[in-house]
Amino acid sequence: MKKTLVFLLLCCTFAALFAQEEEFEAGRGSRVAWARLKFRVTGYNPNGNVALGWFYHPTGDVRMVDWLRANTDINIKEEWNIVDVARLDQMCEFPMLFLSGKGSIDLNAKEKRNLREYILRGGFLFVDDCVALRQPKEDIFFTSVNNLVREILPEVELKKLPLSHPVFHCYYDIKRWTHMQGVDNGLWGAWYKGRLIMLTNSSDLHCAWTGFHFTQAQRKAAFQIAANIYVYVMAN
């Protein structure tokens, strides 16, 4: 019953998004689909392939979408998308963008303006620090994204979310944060003028989605918190 109500709430939320033209571009929210943001990174360049800095383990995205479709009644398309930070029009097609990276995020002036504008129009960032194969397992990406958001939105407030926050309970009732690997900072949020605009962590949820050496309990926890984040974003 609870999950059916959540599904209906999501449908109503997207209908409302279409009506709010003052906040969103025409068509914003029209694609209920997973999207990963493409950007440059510095400080991580394996074998000269800079793409791996932002596009490590894309199978994680596929498995996340497949898990949502198989285990929940969340309305999400089977496809998943890559969105370039240089294209604001692409970014604004999706209410939430997923960022996973190694090294430090590196945006030029135009890309920073795009990211700022995306957030101001109501967009949301879900950020995960990928630490696989990186020694020592530092929270470089987590820190660099937090610093970037502070730069483009100086008024932003960044802080760790308590377990009482609705994001831990809006779909699955999550009673504790499950760390995967790397630096355990928990789940952090960024608020701008009272609105939650970003959730970020350095626990490498994305690598747990792919499988690898993680336990079934860890993988389940990684999928469930991502499902909660998706539901929370779409309903707020």
Domain assignments of the chain as residue spans, ordered by start: 2-235
Tens of pLDDT along the chain (236 residues)?
555 544 444 544 434 333 333 444 433 344 479 999 999 888 765 555 555 567 667 788 999 999 999 998 888 898 889 999 999 999 999 999 999 988 899 999 999 999 999 999 999 999 999 876 555 668 889 999 999 999 999 999 999 999 999 999 999 999 999 999 988 999 999 999 999 999 999 999 999 998 878 999 999 999 999 999 999 998 88
Looking at residue 44, the DSSP 8-state letter turns out to be -
Q: What is the pTM for the complete model shown? A: 0.85
Question: Is residue 170 a contact partner of residue 232, using CB atoms and an 8 Å limit?
Answer: yes
2-235 domain in CATH 3.60.70.12?
A: no
Looking at residue 92, the DSSP 8-state letter turns out to be T
Indicate the burial class of 159 (C-beta count within 10 angstroms; 0-12, 13-18, 19 or more).
exposed
Strand order in the sheet with 195-201: 80-84, 34-38, 96-101, 124-129, 195-201, 187-192, 157-160
